Amino acid sequence: GGRAAAGGASKAQLTCGKVKLEINATHLEKLRALHRRYADTAGGGGGGGDKHRDGDTARMFKDSVFCLLARYSALQGAHYKAGAMQAALPPQCFDALRAEFDVCLELCASP
């Protein structure tokens, strides 16, 4: 579903269980176009196909966008007005990453 935001931009809402995340409709359509263009080359199943495959691809796309938005939300402190919280991991998290996955370097990439 879509709705208008305060700035007039249309919003789309993606849900998983009780969790609801929003994205500008324009951004969602840009992601959809990029997914269609590149998913086949990445082995992700984008591009054309039969109706069943198209339905699977649409579901996979929505699931992937939801995961992307959830990650960004977590990095923001799970509130749309928060931001730049990725550096807020406590030392215990880095210790666990080192112990479980042998992570010895912290790297960051901007979206």
Q: What is the pLDDT of residues 5-54, one digit of tens each?
A: 556 679 999 999 999 999 999 999 999 999 988 876 655 554 444 445 66
Looking at per-residue pLDDT, the higher value among 4 and 81 belongs to 81
Residue 111 scores a pLDDT above 60: no
The model carries a pTM of 0.58
Looking at per-residue pLDDT, the higher value among 6 and 95 belongs to 95
Is 104 part of any domain?
Answer: no
Kind plus residue range of the DSSP H or E element containing 96: helix 91-101
Instruction: Work out the angle between the directed axes of helices 25-38 and 51-75 (0-180°, nearest 10).
Output: 130
Is 36 part of any domain?
Answer: yes
Distance of CA 20 to CAs 17, 58, 73, 109, Å? 8, 18, 11, 25
Sign of the Cα torsion 70, 71, 76, 80 reads negative
Residue type, 104: C
Is 81 part of any domain?
Answer: yes
Q: What is the per-residue pLDDT across 43-93, written as a single tens digit (0 to 9) for each? A: 555 444 444 566 788 899 999 999 999 988 887 776 666 655 556 677 888
Report how far apart the first and last C-alpha atoms of the chain are (Å, whole number). 25
pLDDT at position 2, please? Answer: 54
Is 108 part of any domain?
Answer: no
* Domain total in the chain: 1
pLDDT at position 46, please? Answer: 47
Is 49 part of any domain?
Answer: yes
Q: Which domain holds residue 37?
A: 2-85
User: Virtual CA dihedral for 17, 96, 85, 80, nearest 10 degrees?
Assistant: 0
pLDDT at position 84, please? Answer: 56
